[in-house]
Amino acid sequence: MSEIIEIPTWDNGEWTVTNFSSKEEWREYLLTLFKEPGQYNFNETALLFNKEARNFNRLGFYTVAPFKSKDYIYYWDDQKKKCRNGVLYKDKKNVWYLTRDYYMWLNFLPIYDKEEKKFGFAKVRDAQYHMALYEILAELYYKHVAILKKRQIASSYFHAGKLINSLWFEEGVTLKIGASLKDYINDKGTWKFLDEYASFLNEHTAWYRPMNPDKVMLWQQKIEVRKGNKKTEVGLKGTIQGMSFEKSATAGVGGPCQYFFHEEAGIAPKMGETYEYLRPALQSGMVTTGVFIAAGSVGDLDQCEPLKNLIMNPEANDIYAVETNLLDGKGTIGTAGLFIPEQWSMMPFVDEYGNSQVEEALEAIKDERIKWKKEIEPDKYQLRISQKPTNIEEAFAFRRESIFAVHLLASQLRRIEDKEYPYELLELYRDEHNNLTVKDSNKLPINEFPISKKTEDKSGCLVVWERPKKDPTFGMYYASIDPVSEGKTTTSDSLCSIFIYKAPIEVSREEGGEQKTHIEQDKIVASWCGRFDDIKKTHERLELIIEWYNAWTLVENNVSLFIQYMISQRKQRYLVTKDQILFLKDIGSNASVYQQYGWRNTGTLFKAHLISYAIEFLREEIDHDYKTDGSVVKTTYGVSRIPDPMLIKEMLAYREGLNVDRLVAFTALVAFAKIQQSNRGYLKRREVTPESLDKSKDLYKLKVGAFRHIGKSASSNGMKRSKQAFRNLR
């Protein structure tokens, strides 16, 4: 039998109870109340949300009823029920639900108010109300919580209050709080808020809860008492435990847990690993019994990747997903974890009831950014925006001024993450007959940049977006390799990189008696980045990839081991010789390099010359969509030809001195291909249509047969051929 859920309800001036027959009915009802800051329409009724706190501020205590009197007991039992079940507020036009933790936080858990510069209770704000609703919906749908937030939204205070709420009223509950650094959660961090809350509750409410042990990073709600001649422990016996992940991403995550709050999730580079190890503790079989809560603002980009993954891929990570138009500045609609942007509950653009004045806030942000852009350096400008983002893209955007078109790269990365570029993960090998064979790989490509020097398996796998055409002609595919000089290493983060590029093809076909021609777009069709402990295996993998695509291959020859390997296999026909690398001739580079194959990355060749080809490749306008009046409605840029997310991440992160193996291979490839196309033109392919095949059937109608010269001494037109002894001389 389903449990009846009873919610205390203020209904147009009267207190009553609203019943729900099941969790399913309750969560469907809550969904109808879940909107967005700026749309909740708080009014005079919202003054009741924190009525108890305002009474305390006025009187210095909560109730005038005498201690332990009937009215006193009734008051505290009634408030306890509201702190355990939450409260519905109804007026003639609106309904709002304050979750149990939000109600308790507003009324019984004072914080340091930065606006007032003193301790006091939190004011009603629709952004925090929205966050609390999101979290209870996640719990009711058996999902976990990921929150990407602007700064100064009192998230740490609120979530400390959420843990206190459970510890104060639930029996035997296990609660945990973790962070990448101990100082985020010890008495210098969030534990200080827990201490403040506990002290206030024990002093000013009827809910006295002693702790034993009562030390930083470990509480248990119990007290030792004597009954007769025996000592015993009484209390709800719930626990809160703190843990840091400085030494290990999995320290202390074992054991059942109702709530796990990961503090400062935006500066937690190992949080993804922590989450995966923790999930079994939040489940019983296939049933979710606990909730993981990750909340934070973004720090350095290499530290916030786990939070980005949870926010941008909620379904894959069992995060409660919400539909939003805040993915980017264009209003693109999609699903994500909860994002709390700068324009929500931004002072002074909040009305007297706590509603966000979103449009006014956005205008103020726009004006502020215009001022910033004039006054500060570009990298500081980008950093400020990331800390006060109006959309998710801004939060995770590259912080330094980039030589690449960041907006194009960010949009392309989003398309890749939205699965617009299907791919296969493959292994190539030779069978017992020495034939090249393809199979699915059970490994994943390397998705870490830069890769840790301590990573054991760096072999990765071949990522294929398009398999080679059957019997591809030589010159249809180009390859570019940035090789490595050694096998197993714990001192280098360098990887071997190869990209396979399909050249553009001019395709012609006959349609309706007309010859029609179009260009089949060039693109990256495969890539591998990695290395084996045995360098011979690295070379063998490169060889198989090149052979499969019959690819004309450009090799950086600073390390000549792979070139020597190909020569030993008598496969140097695949290698581009130095005199065929026209970009070297154009800039007069490598003149003193006497190797026959490949190019040498010397001096400023890469950063001063090759990168410019990559920049142009991204920005090239390769297609347009037009309105009927001829105006352009959409432009497709060359960046759409790059399906590899790790190459894009290297471009976004690029700065002088950074090890960018993929980018080196790619820039050389683009430079080589561009000049080849300029000099040689496009490859050509003629497609045979059914119509042209039908015309071939008319050949039998010709008056002259195939063997028309047999038995004849004259030409078919009756004229004799002239016979000249030296007719073949020119």
How confident is the model over 537-591, as pLDDT tens digits?
999 999 999 999 999 999 988 888 999 999 999 999 999 998 887 766 655 555 5
What is the predicted pLDDT for the residue at 366?
96
Given a contact cutoff of 8 angstroms between Cβ atoms, the answer to whether 283 and 258 are in contact is: no
Mean pLDDT on 604-615: 83
The verdict on residue 550 lying in a domain is yes
pLDDT at residue 202 greater than cutoff 50: yes
Given a contact cutoff of 8 angstroms between Cβ atoms, the answer to whether 338 and 153 are in contact is: no
What is the predicted pLDDT for the residue at 724?
43
pLDDT at residue 603 greater than cutoff 70: no
User: Which token pair is 572?
Assistant: 């140097």
pLDDT at residue 705 greater than cutoff 60: no
What is the rounded distance in angstroms from the CA atom of residue 186 to the CA atom of residue 191?
5
* Most confident stretch, 303-307, 527-531, 603-607: 527-531
The verdict on residue 580 lying in a domain is yes
Mean pLDDT on 258-279: 93
The verdict on residue 623 lying in a domain is yes
What is the predicted pLDDT for the residue at 714?
42
What torsion, rounded to 10 degrees, do the Cα atoms 458, 647, 462, 316 define? 90
For tokens 């509603």, the residue is 355
Going edge to edge, which strands form the sheet with 514-520?
A: 514-520, 505-511, 683-686
What is the predicted pLDDT for the residue at 719?
40
Question: Which domain does 576 fall in, by range?
Answer: 424-685
Given a contact cutoff of 8 angstroms between Cβ atoms, the answer to whether 474 and 508 are in contact is: no
Given a contact cutoff of 8 angstroms between Cβ atoms, the answer to whether 496 and 482 are in contact is: yes
Q: Name the 3-class secondary structure at 714.
A: coil
pLDDT at residue 708 greater than cutoff 60: no
Q: Name the 3-class secondary structure at 151.
A: coil
pLDDT band for 490, please (50, 70, 90 cuts): low
pLDDT at residue 51 greater than cutoff 90: yes
The verdict on residue 324 lying in a domain is no
User: Which token pair is 441?
Assistant: 């790989």
Q: What is the DSSP string of 277-346?
A: HHGGGGEETTEE-SEEEEEE---STTTSHHHHHHHH-TGGGTBPPEEES-SSTT---EEESEEE-TTTT-
User: Which token pair is 449?
Assistant: 């940049």
What is the predicted pLDDT for the residue at 706?
41
Mean pLDDT on 9-25: 96
pLDDT band for 210, please (50, 70, 90 cuts): very high
The verdict on residue 582 lying in a domain is yes
What torsion, rounded to 10 degrees, do the Cα atoms 342, 347, 350, 353 define? 120
pLDDT band for 417, please (50, 70, 90 cuts): confident
User: Which token pair is 659?
Assistant: 């090890």
What is the predicted pLDDT for the residue at 486?
73
The verdict on residue 246 lying in a domain is no
What is the rounded distance in angstroms from the CA atom of residue 314 to the CA atom of residue 512?
50
Given a contact cutoff of 8 angstroms between Cβ atoms, the answer to whether 143 and 208 are in contact is: no
Closest by CA position to 353, among listed 24, 691, 89: 89
Q: Pick the residue with more confidence: 380 or 245?
A: 245
Mean pLDDT on 8-19: 97
What is the rounded distance in angstroms from the CA atom of residue 274 to the CA atom of residue 290?
15
pLDDT band for 704, please (50, 70, 90 cuts): very low
pLDDT at residue 718 greater than cutoff 50: no
Which residues make Cβ contacts (< 8 Å) with residue 463, sequence separation at least 6? 423, 424, 425, 426, 445, 526, 527, 528, 644
The verdict on residue 612 lying in a domain is yes
pLDDT band for 400, please (50, 70, 90 cuts): low
What is the rounded distance in angstroms from the CA atom of residue 361 to the CA atom of residue 553?
54
What is the rounded distance in angstroms from the CA atom of residue 371 to the CA atom of residue 389?
16
Single pTM value for the model: 0.67
My answer on whether omega of the bond before 643 falls inside 30° of 0, hence cis, is no
The verdict on residue 248 lying in a domain is no
Per-residue pLDDT tens digits for 88-141 = 999 999 999 999 999 999 999 999 877 677 889 999 999 999 999 999 999 999
Q: How many structural domains is the chain composed of? A: 1
Q: Pick the residue with more confidence: 509 or 196?
A: 196
Provide the angle, in degrees to the nearest 10, between the axes of the packed helices 155-169 and 190-204. 50
pLDDT at residue 294 greater than cutoff 80: yes
| Residue-averaged pLDDT of the chain | 88
The lowest-confidence range among 199-213, 373-387, 657-671, 677-691 is: 677-691
**Percent with pLDDT over 70 in the chain:** 90
What is the predicted pLDDT for the residue at 709?
41
pLDDT band for 707, please (50, 70, 90 cuts): very low
pLDDT band for 691, please (50, 70, 90 cuts): low
Amino acid in the structure at residue 40? Y
CATH number for the domain including 636? 3.30.420.240
pLDDT at residue 207 greater than cutoff 60: yes
What is the predicted pLDDT for the residue at 629?
85
Which DSSP symbol is given to 699?
A: G
Amino acid in the structure at residue 165? N
Mean pLDDT on 15-44: 97
pLDDT at residue 336 greater than cutoff 90: yes
